[in-house]
Amino acid sequence: MSLNLICFFLCALIAPDLTDEDALLSAPQNISILSTNMKHYLTWSPVVVQGETVTYSVEFQGEYEREHVNESWIPICECSLITATMCNITEDISASVAYNLRVRADAGARRSEWGTLKGFFNRITTSLTPPLMKVIADGYHLLVELQDMGPAFQFCVLYWKKGQESRMQQKMVKEVSSVIHLDTMEAGPDYCVKAQTYVEVINRSSSFSQTQCVRAQDGRSMWLVTALISSAVFVVAALTLTFLTLKTSKIFQYSCCPAAVLPETLKVSEPPTKLILHSSEEVEQCDLMVQVMPSEEAVRLWFQETL
């Protein structure tokens, strides 16, 4: 109010004096109010003057000014000599009473008559939209995230187990602080949520948002199932691999090294070969200890080692 008073005097100083030509400019028409979710705007059709910039100034009159202050008008500072054809009057509409609004045009030294809003505007007629919401199932927790619409807004949240609409539960949310916990869910059924905005100063509610349903997601059992499935897959894979390896080695054994029964005479005693292999391994390990053994000595050593 005090700001508006200061503005009143400022505007009075800034605004050009009335001239004889003021009737030449037509008053703004189609003056109307756009009001959604307690945000109010006055709009009007532009006044067109060839080759000149037209500016507009807006004033309002509340019940108090109308009835107790000689029907005086209060200029809206933010909307004095503006070029836009819209004025944000949200701050000025501070009570749920009937307001009158008017706007006039200025172009150079010329000024129009006031164009006045037809009828009064009361903020209780603001159109309220349902809140934007997101329903979340965090494990067994039923959560809801609501759009922050400002301090004047509260939310009435309804939630229920699907099929049990008669046992609907209600939660009034006065302050939107990130995510709101509604309930702990049972595994299985869907849980549904809808919400409406409520504005206490006008005692009005919006319609309800579209219902959103979610189901409990058991994070722990999901993890367990995943773990079980992956270990099962692993075991099957390991078994298959082992089986295939055995099969393959058998095939190779049969195709490359058939276990044919050799005649007795062809049966050579393997020991010397084994021993040679053994010693060659030692040679590989220790290059400096090269030993060349006579075959008789080797046979004797082999017997010593194996027996």
Ligand X SMILES: *[C@@H]1O[C@H](CO)[C@@H](O)[C@H](O)[C@H]1NC(C)=O
Binding window for ligand X (CB under 6 A); candidates: 2-10, 85-93, 180-188, 233-241: 85-93
State yes or no: residue 70 binds ligand X (CB under 6 A): yes
Return phi, psi of residue 4, to 5°. -65, -35
Among residues 29 and 253, whose Cβ is nearest to ligand X? 29
Using DSSP, state whether 149 is helix, strand or coil.
Answer: coil
Among residues 122 and 212, whose Cβ is nearest to ligand X? 122
Q: Tell me the helix, strand and coil percentages in the chain, rounded to 5.
A: 35, 30, 35
Binding window for ligand X (CB under 6 A); candidates: 12-20, 86-94, 236-244, 287-295: 86-94
Binding window for ligand X (CB under 6 A); candidates: 10-18, 87-95, 126-134, 283-291: 87-95
Provide CB contacts within 8 A for 101, sequence distance 6+: 31, 33, 42, 58, 59, 60, 61, 89, 116, 117, 121
Among 45, 221, 242, 295, interactor with ligand X by CB under 6 A: 45
HSE (CB half, 13 Å, CA atoms) of 34?
A: 9
State yes or no: residue 71 binds ligand X (CB under 6 A): no
Among residues 52 and 218, whose Cβ is nearest to ligand X? 52
Please give the Cα distance from 133 to 281 (Å, whole number). 76
- How far is CA 80 from each of CA 34, 84, 243, rounded to the nearest angstrom? 19, 10, 89
State yes or no: residue 43 binds ligand X (CB under 6 A): no
Using DSSP, state whether 222 is helix, strand or coil.
Answer: helix
Among 21, 67, 91, 281, interactor with ligand X by CB under 6 A: 91
Among 32, 39, 63, 171, interactor with ligand X by CB under 6 A: 39
Among 10, 19, 29, 165, interactor with ligand X by CB under 6 A: 29
Binding window for ligand X (CB under 6 A); candidates: 88-96, 133-141, 233-241, 255-263: 88-96
Among 19, 36, 90, 207, interactor with ligand X by CB under 6 A: 90
State yes or no: residue 69 binds ligand X (CB under 6 A): yes
Q: How far is the CB of 69 from ligand X (least distance, A)?
A: 6
State yes or no: residue 148 binds ligand X (CB under 6 A): no
Among 30, 125, 230, 280, interactor with ligand X by CB under 6 A: 30
Longest CA pairwise span in the chain (Å)? 142
Q: How far is the CB of 86 from ligand X (least distance, A)?
A: 9
Encoded one letter per residue, x for contact with ligand X by CB under 6 A and - for no contact, window 173-212 reads ------------------------------x---------
Contact 159, 182 (CB under 8 A): yes
State yes or no: residue 269 binds ligand X (CB under 6 A): no
Please give the Cα distance from 146 to 179 (Å, whole number). 7
Please give the Cα distance from 163 to 251 (Å, whole number). 64
Dihedral sign (CA 233, 234, 238, 244): positive
Q: How far is the CB of 117 from ligand X (least distance, A)?
A: 14
Which amino acid is it at 72? S
Among residues 89 and 173, whose Cβ is nearest to ligand X? 89
Give which of 139, 132, 103 is closest to 221, Cα–Cα: 139
Contact 232, 213 (CB under 8 A): no
State yes or no: residue 36 binds ligand X (CB under 6 A): no
Dihedral sign (CA 156, 160, 162, 166): negative
- In the complex, the residues that contact ligand X under the rule CB under 6 A are 29-30, 39, 45, 69-70, 88, 90-91, 203
